[in-house]
Amino acid sequence: MAGSREARLAALRGRIAAIEAGTRTPTPVLPFGDPAIDGCFPGGGLPLGGWHEVTGAGLEDETGAAPAAFVSLLLRSLFSTGVKTGAIVWVARRDDLFAPGLAGLGFPAGRLIQVRARDEAETLSVLEDALSTQGVAAAVGEAEAPDLTAGRRLQLACERRGGFGVVLHRRPYGGRAGQGGAVSGSASFSRWRIAPSPTPPPPDDIGLGPPRWRVELERCRGGRPGAWILESSDAAHPFRLVSPLADHDMAPAEPGLRRVG
Amino acid sequence: MATEGGTRRLAAVDEAARALGLFAGQKAADALALVPNLATFDHDPAADRAALEALCDWCVRFSPAVAIDGRDGLFLDITGTDHLWGGEAAMLVDLAARLARWGVPARAAIADTAGAAWALARHGDDLSIAPPGQQRAAIQDLPVAALRLEDAAEAQLPRLGLHRVGQLLALPRAQLAKRFGLATTRRLDQALGLAAEALTFRRPASPWFDRLAFLEPISAPEDLARAAGDALALICRRLEAEGRGAKRFEVTFHRLDGRAYPARAGLARIGRDAARLTRLIVPKLDTIDPGFGIEVVTVRAAAVEPMAPAQDRLDADADASLDATLAPLVDRLVNRLGETRVWRADPHASHVPERSVARVAPLDPPSALAGWDPDRPRPVRLFKRPEAITALAKVPDDPPIQFTWRGRSHRVRRAEGPERIGQEWWRAGVGQTDTGPGKIRDYYRVEDDAGGRFWIYRQGLFDGDDAPKWWIHGLFG
């Protein structure tokens, strides 16, 4: 009895997956190279024909530095693993993205086309336009909060050419805190929250070691959430798993956000 | 009316005033004595110039090569465009009639040379046409003032009994040049076509010009879009026939009342695809106010270069070259947002962080410079203007142990640096820039206890009374 029940459930799951996928062919995925992370995704990695939300925690919500670094490393692996070729379009309303900094992380800055949009709607429409263009491997847009319609449009644009889209949630200067995070386009495949994480002293105790991030996978369609401390590495896969967040040594990584005076 | 050395004089008079015996240059007091109810207006040279330029732009419908001459004249180079009107005479009549309809008093003439046309228009019969090669006969009965001579020569000639151009032509050249200057013989030669004369056209003359005239004025938006498409198709067909492509296209809509509305489209790489260009132009037609209707559409291609014909591949999607697929996207973005809003960052040889990036067009070839130095870490976000922070440092030359930025205090756990970056003294003249120690920046990468990494710097050195200031310039992820 139990066996047939499981078989029936498996069959139903397959049918649901077939309905959800529609006429889509299975898209290639971007693996992180670590089973602990890749296991959270249904396909063993981030699918390319979809878009992902990346938000920053605390102060990063406005400055968007750690999310930008995370996204650029993610895109680096897109090229270093040879999954994709083509250009990267980065749309933002502010032009504080600094190409030498991205290049320092190993990001192919020569492929980067930067676009400065005038408002939120323009950002999203340029992002959609770029994603549905052949020759664009990935597109990143810094937006406040795309609504459900915009999210769905992005998803369709991604599916057309298998583009890899990222919406980097970023609050405008002087914007209210905690407003953008409330609305979430559930059309995205996954949502990430990135915060910096303290690094241990480097072996020779001089200077700074490779940067670390506290990466939370908050939501993932068909997968399960997770949280890890990741460190950048120079290998083909840009992240090295340092520890899952459950580790007590790493847990109190929040005090930087306390208010002073 | 203009004020000249304390005297008010008439700067220009209209037809009715001329009939009453007034003339330009007359004293205002004399004129008012002759015509007590004279209506006068202040002379406004800037407005005159603007009106002349507007008229010049309007004349583009007759020929793309229009030059402004002095304060009150226009030269149209109609070589090869008169057949569009069915001959020079018809064209001249059309031009004069249209000008008359706008209330622009004008005289016009056509000749082989700019000099002869100038002479005929100002001193000959209105609407006269000098037959090809017949300038000498056409201008020899005109007064010498028709030759655009220098003031001294022009005043001197009648005193010697030389009133007509024909009399000048009969004199020996050598003596003429000796007596009245080389300019006189040059002007004579220019009028006769023996010497070349360069005109400064308001826009560079280009053979890549086409026009589309309508029997009935059009004004519906979809008609405008179709007309733009037709005009572009016209010029693209010519470009294709000659194996060329262009980067800049301009479609100008000429309204019935003489105003012109240009709509421009630029391409990232040379092209001649009328359908694609039309798609770029059509969104810009919103700004065109058709008024009572558009009667002529002209189209101009600039930056024309040879372009090899390309065969469209059947499996174009499979592996088209990167640039060929990106170009349409870049065109769309550039035409929608403007050229300054779409760029690629190229390395620029400078140590100053804000100058180390050069913005280039996305599809330009990469620069020959090597990339940025990987041993000098740079932030992911660089602020356009560094923000002031208050910092506490244990020892003057140490990185700070604590700093406050945007009302939040950060305790520095570890730091790396300094990296000293100085002013580029060679960028300004000697003594113009302050390259002293006050301009030196010592950059530190610091990490606070939450793991956030900041790029901060101290400007200036600890000496003297001014304490150096601390700034934050960027954020590492």
Query: Are A100 and B356 inside 8 Å of each other by CB?
Result: yes
| Mean pLDDT confidence for A222-244 | 84
Higher pLDDT: B329 or A261? It is B329
How far is A3 from chain B, CA to nearest CA, in Å?
Answer: 46
Query: Are A101 and B345 inside 8 Å of each other by CB?
Result: no
DSSP string, chain A: -HHHHHHHHHHHHHHHHHHHHTTPPPPPEE--S-HHHHTTSTTSSEESSEEEEEEE-TTHHHH-HHHHHHHHHHHHHHHHTTS--SEEEEEESS--B-HHHHHHTT--GGGEEEEE-SSHHHHHHHHHHHHTSTTEEEEEEEES---HHHHHHHHHHHHHHT-EEEEEE-PPTTPPTTSTTT---TTSSEEEEEEEE--PPPTT-SS--S-EEEEEEEEETTS--EEEEEEE-SSSSSEEEEEETT-TTTS---GGG----
CATH of domain B209-322: 3.30.1490.100
pLDDT at A247: 46
**Closest by Cβ to B450, choosing from A133, A136, A196:** A196
pLDDT at A26: 61
Does residue A148 form part of some domain?
A: yes
Does residue A19 form part of some domain?
A: no
Total domains in chain A come to 1
Query: Are A101 and B381 inside 8 Å of each other by CB?
Result: yes
* β-bridge mates for residue B39, sequence order: none
Query: Are A100 and B353 inside 8 Å of each other by CB?
Result: yes
Chain B residue whose CA is closest to A201: B414
Cα B234–B236–B238 angle (5° rounding)? 75
Give the tens place of pLDDT for each residue, A34-52.
888 888 888 888 888 889 9
* β-bridge mates for residue B248, sequence order: B266, B302
CB atoms within 10 A of CB A104: 23
**Closest by Cβ to B451, choosing from A87, A199, A206:** A199
pLDDT at A204: 80
Does residue A13 form part of some domain?
A: no
pLDDT at A139: 93
Does residue A98 form part of some domain?
A: yes
Q: Could you list the mean pLDDT of each consecutive 10-residue stretch along chain B, which spans 477 residues? A: 71 80 81 82 84 83 81 83 82 87 84 86 82 82 82 81 83 83 83 81 75 86 89 89 87 85 84 85 85 87 80 51 75 87 89 88 80 86 91 82 90 88 76 69 90 89 75 89
Instruction: Kindly tell me if the per-residue pLDDT of A259 is higher than 50.
Output: no
pLDDT at B4: 64
Instruction: Kindly tell me if the per-residue pLDDT of A165 is higher than 80.
Output: yes
* β-bridge mates for residue A112, sequence order: A88
**Closest by Cβ to A116, choosing from B341, B371, B474:** B341
How far is A18 from chain B, CA to nearest CA, in Å?
Answer: 27
Hey, of B331, B380, B381, which one would you mutate to test binding to chain A, going by the most A CBs within 10 A of its CB? B380
Taking the whole predicted model, whether its pTM rises above 0.95 is answered as no
- pLDDT band of residue A115 (cuts 50, 70, 90) is very high
Residue A139 lies in domain: 28-257
**Checking DSSP bridges between strand B441-448 and strand B408-421, what pairing results, if any?**
antiparallel
User: Which CATH number does the domain housing residue A157 bear?
Assistant: 3.40.50.300
Residues of chain B in contact with residue A95, where contact means CB-CB under 8 angstroms, are: 384
Q: Where are the domains of chain B?
A: 2-34, 63-192, 209-322, 343-375, 381-476
Does residue A12 form part of some domain?
A: no
pLDDT at A54: 92
